[in-house]
Structure 1
Amino acid sequence: MKKDNSPKQEFLFGKRNYIIMLIGIAVIALGFILMAGGGSDDPNVFNPEIYGWRRIRLAPTLVIIGFGIEIYAIFANPKK
């Protein structure tokens, strides 16, 4: 009978941390998706939609919240 002395490989974070990280990545991605677009097909025509509330306020706020979630996921105790 052989004894297996190889060390057990463990992940750096716990399952809870990775789930929180995925939520943070989803929030960041949603922010960037909301920020996209607003251009004009004709470069001589100005599209005021680029300065809309969604692109100026909502999307950057979601990105910052997503980064906050990522920081929380890194510091969260995986044992809880």
Structure 2
Amino acid sequence: MAQQFKPTTPLKTSAQAAKPTLKSTSTEPVEFIFDKGNYKFLIISVLVVAFGFILMSGTTDIYSNTKIVIAPIVVLAGFGLGFYAILKKPEVSK
């Protein structure tokens, strides 16, 4: 048989929860997770990855050195730069 659970504190009803609360407004500036430098690195990384895919499309030669070696390295470097842009801590401004 199921046991009944009795809460130790009284439950709030919708009439009690509807009371307006006053919040103090603060004049502190909003701090974002990324700063301008992070966004620059992120945009550059997207361009590097796109350039790597353009190199992969290349010419009609399937076994060209550019398609097999250089283009994947460029794409991986772009992804690495993107990870760096995300993990880079913004500079602390005073």
Q: Would you say same fold, with TM above 0.5?
A: yes
Counterparts of 1:1-80 in structure 2 under 5 Å? 5=25, 11-39=32-60, 49-79=61-91
Amino acid corresponding to residue 52 of structure 2 in structure 1: G
Aligned AA (1:69)? L
Q: Quote the Cα distance in structure 1 between the aligned partners of 2:58 and 2:84.
A: 30
Amino acid at match of 1:26: L
Distance in 2 separating the partners of 1:52 and 1:9 = 51
Task: Identify, as 1 or 2, the structure richer in helix.
Answer: 1
RMSD (Å) for aligned C-alpha atoms: 2.3
Q: CA deviation at 1:10?
A: 5.1
Question: If you compute each CA radius of gyration, which structure gives the higher value, 1 or 2?
Answer: 2
- TM-score for both structures, normalised by structure 1: 0.71
Aligned to 1:44: none
- Runs of 4+, deviation exceeding 2 Å: 5-12
Is the partner of 1:51 in helix, strand or coil? Answer: coil
Q: Does the CA contact (< 8 Å) of 2:33 and 2:90 recur in 1?
A: no
Q: Distance in 2 between matches of 1:54 and 1:75?
A: 30
Q: Highest relative contact order (Cα 8 Å, sep 6+), 1 or 2?
A: 1
Q: 1:15: Cα distance to partner?
A: 0.6
